[in-house]
């Protein structure tokens, strides 16, 4: 990755984006535009169409027509595979351009963005392209005079609502399996990070995806997202984002056609460090990266550090040292470890969490405030708060920013009780050299993902999904396909 290439790409003006409907770029029905602000310096870098309810309905109608006439669903699996493979190749061929565009829009440090965004999006789409002709129906164990067959059919029109923290990666988690199974999709990227995903969607058409099979509408969640949620013609809604919006989507479903709703929501993931961890120094560095990369804007971020009391002070000092060594700043500088916070709203929310933590008795031992204000961008120092009690706001509410709360524990049982004391259950980790304890922690901590002696890092082969108020259903792996198919029984008398 060359800094000069990145600088050349960042100097390019960004064209205005319109919706993508039926393979064509279309402005909002009322001509409305949305300013797109770069978190790098707070300037308006371009505009997107500010979608209307009519725009969303047009996109859904186009997707429905595309599904019904079989222009994609009825293609032979090998043909669908070829298109998706080519799409993955195009994403890879344009990886740096996509990554820089995405970073200008959402602020993720370029090193991480390049790997996690186009890199992982291409890998995910390829994974489902490779899988699609290896997924079979079933023949049931019926009496001899009956043939019981179980078909897996596409659901029809999938609505996908995507957040701003990793738009291409999370977009691909939904688009890959949905399209592989023959569905049509209407995409709704986040208003604060839509550009790279819109560009990635356009590449799908370039790869040969028929017009209408993938439509994309930009605009405000409460307008176009709501219209998607309330549509009578969307069969399945898949979402990553906040619990508040997730709740609304379930209500929309109940108020409309009872569409299936799959939610990947936030977390308050515990990173549990026992005194018998194999390498406490390495654990401290990973703990810092596990909360501070992408400025903490990671759904599985290890935002609660639970440390065995006997090593608490030394371990926290090591995490503080590791975090202070991380360079915060221009996300398009290859030497930056922590980029910008996505928006001013998010930055203000992060800072107010720190104030609340102080008021509730926590000690801010490093960071705590906004930095680099002179750039006009939204930057925050990695922040560590110790002495955070089990019921403190910082233990219970997702910040989604570079703020780590630390709590000491004495026993394994206490660690488990603390770990399970929130409404969330997305991810977690335990650090221990004791094999029995490692397996006990995997079983006892209620999460969708449990890491042992590492934090984060998982590929397309394993599911990611939450329990409790972290959501339902899984992204990634072959299990994600279940969300995008209906099972149909054929009961045949022979
Ligand atoms: O999320 P929203 P926001 C969490 C995180 C963060 C908080 C707020 O805690 O601080 O959410 O972020 C669309 N109907 N996560 O406000 O609003 C919206 O346009 C339909 C965790 O950005 O949930 C966007 O496309 N759609 C997280 C998407 O929902 C609506 C990632 C997510 O936005 C809508 C992001 C509506 N009424 C935030 N309102 C994770 N789990 O990784 C908004 N949207």
248 Cα nearest atom in ligand 1: 37
Query: Kindly report the CA angle at 396 between 377 and 401, in degrees rounded to 5?
Result: 15
Per-residue confidence (pLDDT) for residue 457, from 0 to 100 = 81
Q: How close is the Cα of 84 to the center of ligand 1, in Å? A: 28
Q: How far apart are the C-alpha atoms of 237 and 247, rounded to whole Å?
A: 13
Strands (E), 367-414: 370-371, 379-380, 383-386, 403-409
Q: At what angle do helices 95-106 and 77-93 cross, to 10 degrees?
A: 70
Select from 221, 246, 474 the residue to mutate for testing ligand 1; criterion: most ligand atoms less than 8 Å from CB: 221
Instruction: Please say whether the beta carbons of 78 and 133 come within 8 A.
Output: yes
Q: Is the CB of 401 under 6 A from ligand 1?
A: no
Q: How is the beta sheet containing 427-431 ordered, strand by strand?
A: 363-366, 383-386, 403-409, 304-308, 270-273, 427-431, 449-452
Distance of CA 116 to the CA centre of its chain: 10
Per-residue confidence (pLDDT) for residue 55, from 0 to 100 = 98
Q: Is the CB of 441 under 6 A from ligand 1?
A: no
Cβ partners under 8 Å of residue 116, min gap 6: 108, 166, 169
Over the range 59-78, which residues count as b (16 or more CB within 10 Å of their CB) and which as e? bbbbbbebbeeebbbebeee
Per this entry, what is the length of the chain?
Answer: 494
Q: How far apart are the C-alpha atoms of 217 and 259, rounded to whole Å?
A: 20
349 Cα nearest atom in ligand 1: 10
Q: How close is the Cα of 261 to the center of ligand 1, in Å? A: 15
Per-residue confidence (pLDDT) for residue 131, from 0 to 100 = 98
Place of tokens 């930057």: 379
Residue 199, phi-psi category: left (phi > 0), alpha (psi -120 to 50), beta (remainder): alpha
426 Cα nearest atom in ligand 1: 41
The residue nearest atom 37 of ligand 1, judged by CA position, is 222
Tokens of 142: 């019926």
Instruction: Please say whether the beta carbons of 273 and 237 come within 8 A.
Output: no
Cβ partners under 8 Å of residue 315, min gap 6: 273, 280, 283, 284, 307
User: Which residues in the chain show pLDDT less than 70?
Assistant: 1
Prediction pTM value: 0.97
- Other CB atoms within 10 Å distance of the CB of residue 157: 29
- What are the CA-CA distances from residue 357 to residues 137, 363, 422 (Å)? 53, 8, 17
Per-residue confidence (pLDDT) for residue 1, from 0 to 100 = 65
Q: Is the CB of 350 under 6 A from ligand 1?
A: no
Q: How close is the Cα of 189 to the center of ligand 1, in Å? A: 10
Cβ partners under 8 Å of residue 67, min gap 6: 73, 154, 156, 157, 183, 184, 213
Place of tokens 């969300």: 483
The residue nearest atom 11 of ligand 1, judged by CA position, is 242
Q: Is the CB of 190 under 6 A from ligand 1?
A: yes
Instruction: Please say whether the beta carbons of 165 and 294 come within 8 A.
Output: yes
Q: Is the CB of 299 under 6 A from ligand 1?
A: yes
- What are the CA-CA distances from residue 153 to residues 180, 183, 256, 259, 260 (Å)? 11, 9, 23, 16, 15
Q: How far apart are the C-alpha atoms of 82 and 79, rounded to whole Å?
A: 5
Q: Is the CB of 214 under 6 A from ligand 1?
A: no
Select from 50, 107, 163, 195 the residue to mutate for testing ligand 1; criterion: most ligand atoms less than 8 Å from CB: 163
The residue nearest atom 42 of ligand 1, judged by CA position, is 299
Q: Is 104 helix (H, G, I), strand (E, B) or coil?
A: helix
H-assigned helices in 166-306: 167-180, 195-206, 226-230, 243-255, 280-292
The residue nearest atom 8 of ligand 1, judged by CA position, is 242
Q: Which residues are catalytic?
A: 264, 299
Cα–Cα nearest to 425, from 251, 324, 299: 299
Burial class (CB in 10 A: 0-12, 13-18, 19+), 148: middle
């Amino acid at each position: 990755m060359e800094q000069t290439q990145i600088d050349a790409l960042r100097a390019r003006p960004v064209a205005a984006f319109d919706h993508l409907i039926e393979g064509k770029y279309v402005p909002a029905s009322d001509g409305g535009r949305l300013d797109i602000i770069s978190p790098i310096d707070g300037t308006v870098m371009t505009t997107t169409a500010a979608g209307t309810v009519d725009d969303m309905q047009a996109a859904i109608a186009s997707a429905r027509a595309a599904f019904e006439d079989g222009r994609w669903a009825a293609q032979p699996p090998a043909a669908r595979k070829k298109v998706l493979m080519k799409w993955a190749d195009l994403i890879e061929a344009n990886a740096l351009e996509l990554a820089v565009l995405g970073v200008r829009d959402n602020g993720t440090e370029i090193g991480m963005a390049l790997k996690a965004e186009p890199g992982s999006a291409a890998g995910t789409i390829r994974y489902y392209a490779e899988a699609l002709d290896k997924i079979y129906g079933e023949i049931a164990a019926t009496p001899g005079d009956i043939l019981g067959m179980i078909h897996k059919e596409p659901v029809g029109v999938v609505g996908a609502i995507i957040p701003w923290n990793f738009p291409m990666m999370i977009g691909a988690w939904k688009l890959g399996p949905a399209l592989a199974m023959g569905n049509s999709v209407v995409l709704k990227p986040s208003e604060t990070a839509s550009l790279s995903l819109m560009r990635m969607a356009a590449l799908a058409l370039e790869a040969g995806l028929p017009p209408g099979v993938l439509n994309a509408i930009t605009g405000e969640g409460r307008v176009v997202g709501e219209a998607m949620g309330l549509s009578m013609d969307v069969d399945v809604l898949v979402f990553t984002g906040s619990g508040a919006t997730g709740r609304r989507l379930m209500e929309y479903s109940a108020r409309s056609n009872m569409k299936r709703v799959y939610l990947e929501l936030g977390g308050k993931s515990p990173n549990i460090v026992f005194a018998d961890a194999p390498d406490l120094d390495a654990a401290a560095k990973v703990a810092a990266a596990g909360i501070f990369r992408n400025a903490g804007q990671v759904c599985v971020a290890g935002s609660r550090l639970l440390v065995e009391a006997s090593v608490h002070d030394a371990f926290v000092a090591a995490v503080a040292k590791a975090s202070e060594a991380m360079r915060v700043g221009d996300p398009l500088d290859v030497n930056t470890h922590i980029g910008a916070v996505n928006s001013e709203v998010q930055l203000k929310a992060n800072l107010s969490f720190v104030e609340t933590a102080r008021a509730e008795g926590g000690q801010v031992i490093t960071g705590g405030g906004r930095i680099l204000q002179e750039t006009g961008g939204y930057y925050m120092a990695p922040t560590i708060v110790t002495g955070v009690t089990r019921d403190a706001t910082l233990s219970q509410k997702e910040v989604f920013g570079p703020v780590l709360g630390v709590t000491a524990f004495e026993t394994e049982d206490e660690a488990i009780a603390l770990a399970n004391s929130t409404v969330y259950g997305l991810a977690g980790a335990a650090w221990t050299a004791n094999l029995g304890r490692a397996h006990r922690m995997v079983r006892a901590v209620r999460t969708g993902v449990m890491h042992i002696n590492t934090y984060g890092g998982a590929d397309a082969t394993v599911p990611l999904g939450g329990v409790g108020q972290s959501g339902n259903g899984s992204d990634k792996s072959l299990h994600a396909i279940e969300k995008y198919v209906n099972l149909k029984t054929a009961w045949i008398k022979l």
